[in-house]
Amino acid sequence: MTGTGVGPGGGGSPRDLGPIEGHEVPGTGGPVASTGVVVRRGVGGELRQAARDIRDVQRRGEVPNSRPLPDWVRRLAWLLDDAFAVPGTDGRRVGVDGMLTFVPVVGDLAGLGLSLVVVLAGVGAGVSLPTTLRMLLNVGFESLVGLVPFGGALADMVYKANNRNVRLIEQDLADRRRTRRSSAAVLALTVLVLAVGAVMTVLVMVAGVALLVWFLAWLIG
């Protein structure tokens, strides 16, 4: 169909606007005019929307998540943990993360940064806070082991923190209540172990100092 319009100021003869494209809108029962204008929020708007989505996800509770984990996150985890077969190990594999640990400091930091990308992807997908902390615990454990010479490659071959984190993300998005309980239990047990370990460390240090003082006193006396 065609349309007409009135010139500026409301006066003058009608002006031909040319053909106007129409399309059916569900629920209206007829065509409406399309202006062809596409609303774009821009980068800032997208970031604000993502922040609101993450905030809403944390409040959502057990409602299933609507932001699925992107495929590139799974591929990144595979690259970090399973990219290369280890000869003579009956199917064991190691990834780039394990190889990076052979480069002191720089390699460890690079592996840590890449592992945190997986964690951030989980946060963006909407995992719960306990699951996020559990993922950070996995990354921290593997990073600490990686500080030991050759320990990083061994930990990557056995522990595979990135693959573990991808599974945690998928489980959290599929069954939020069960994964939250499991993650909370692991975190509570970890805190308990760290607390007991700290107390034991202090007791061993005190006992060591006391033993040293007794030994020096025995030598002098």
In the chain, where are the structural domains located? Answer: 69-204
Running DSSP on this structure, what letter comes out for residue 12?
S
CA 97/CA 80 separation, integer angstroms: 5
Contact 12, 25 (CB under 8 A): no
Average pLDDT, the chain: 73
Task: For residue 163, count other CB atoms closer than 10 A to its CB.
Answer: 19
Output the pLDDT for position 1: 53
Q: pLDDT digit string (tens) for 104-130?
A: 778 888 888 899 899 888 888 878 888
Three-state secondary-structure class, residue 82:
helix
Residues with Cβ within 8 Å of 85's Cβ and at least 6 positions away in sequence, in order, are: 91, 92, 93
Averaged pLDDT for residues 143-158? 78
pTM of the complete model: 0.56
| pLDDT over threshold 80, residue 76 | yes
Maximum average pLDDT range among 31-40, 155-164, 180-189: 155-164
Average pLDDT in the 153-166 region? 86
CB atoms within 10 A of CB 165: 28
